[in-house]
Amino acid sequence: MRIDILTLFPEMFTSFLEGSLLGAAQANGLLDIRVVNIRDYAEGVHRQVDDRPFGGGPGMLLMPGPVVDCVEAVRKQAADAGHLVMLTPAGRRLDQSVVEELARRDRIVLLCGRYEGFDERIRETLEPDEISIGDYVLSGGEVAAMVIVDAVARLVPGVLGDEESARQDSFSGAERLVEGPQYTRPREFRGLQVPDVLLSGDHARIAKWRHDQALVATERRAHSIHSPRSIP
């Protein structure tokens, strides 16, 4: 799978892309991830990419020229122009089913915004799939793009190594359940015991217990009933 990330801050992606999972997936040729600086497509000595909004208002907007030129040039680099995603808080909300949809594509192009947003003609010209990672405002689309790359990469066959582990993750499978509690050694910690069923060796009983626990965890989450640490 090929992923192109278009940004004004390419250096933000350096250590992220070198991390163990993504680094190995790129070395193995499972992922081809390229980071492109939108400013390389800006004109003039100042390589200007942003300007003040017409009609007044706070902040700066991304200008259509450099952004559209950058997207068009990058999409032309391969026969498959890819699925264009614009990161914006106004987009459809990212969830695991959107992640699965993106992971089925051979190429995605992620366009990161900055400042107060994009000139509207960028949307009109490119007609991107607009995606938000949640109802809060980030300083730019870069962190949102990292969220998408991370979540999508784990679904690309071979990236995790253990395919079963993605299938057992929260939100995967038809029921979209969150995972219930898990335990490792020791069997007792500060008086808290590992549930007997997990030590029983009875795989069918363990599978049923885990499914029941996932239903409980999903129900609790739906009602936002969490630990005493959550603010009352």
Residues 43-82 that bind ligand ADE (CB under 6 A): none
- First vs last Cα of the chain: how many Å apart? 44
How far is 116 from 119, CA to CA, in rounded Å?
Answer: 10
Helix and strand element counts for the chain (H, E): 8, 9
137 touches ligand ADE (CB under 6 A): yes
* 164 in active site: no
Q: Give how many residues touch ligand ADE by CB under 6 A.
A: 12
128 touches ligand ADE (CB under 6 A): no
Residues 93-122 that bind ligand ADE (CB under 6 A): 113
132 touches ligand ADE (CB under 6 A): yes
**Burial letters 138-177, b for 16+ CB under 10 A, else e:** bebbbebbbbbbebbbbbbeebbeeeeeeeebebbeeeeb
Q: Check if the beta carbon of residue 157 is closer than 8 Å to that of residue 163.
A: yes
Q: Which residue, 60 or 166, has its beta carbon nearer to ligand ADE?
A: 60
Using the structure block, give the residue that is written with the tokens 């050694």: 185
Q: How far is the CB of 69 from ligand ADE (least distance, A)?
A: 21
Instruction: Give me the sign of the Cα torsion angle 113, 115, 120, 122.
Output: negative
Q: Which residue, 139 or 168, has its beta carbon nearer to ligand ADE?
A: 139
87 touches ligand ADE (CB under 6 A): yes
Q: How many CB atoms lie within 10 A of CB 6?
A: 26
User: Cα dist. 210→182, 217, 222 in Å?
Assistant: 9, 10, 18
Q: How far is the CB of 130 from ligand ADE (least distance, A)?
A: 9
How far is 227 from 160, CA to CA, in rounded Å?
Answer: 30
144 touches ligand ADE (CB under 6 A): yes
Q: Using CB under 6 A, which of the segments 85-93, 98-106, 195-203, 218-226 binds ligand ADE? A: 85-93
Q: How far is the CB of 152 from ligand ADE (least distance, A)?
A: 15
Q: Which one from 116, 130, 150, 179 is the annotated catalytic residue?
A: 116
Q: Which residue, 17 or 133, has its beta carbon nearer to ligand ADE?
A: 133
For ligand ADE, the binding residues (CB under 6 A) are 87-89, 113, 132-134, 136-138, 141, 144
List the catalytic residues: 89, 116, 154, 169
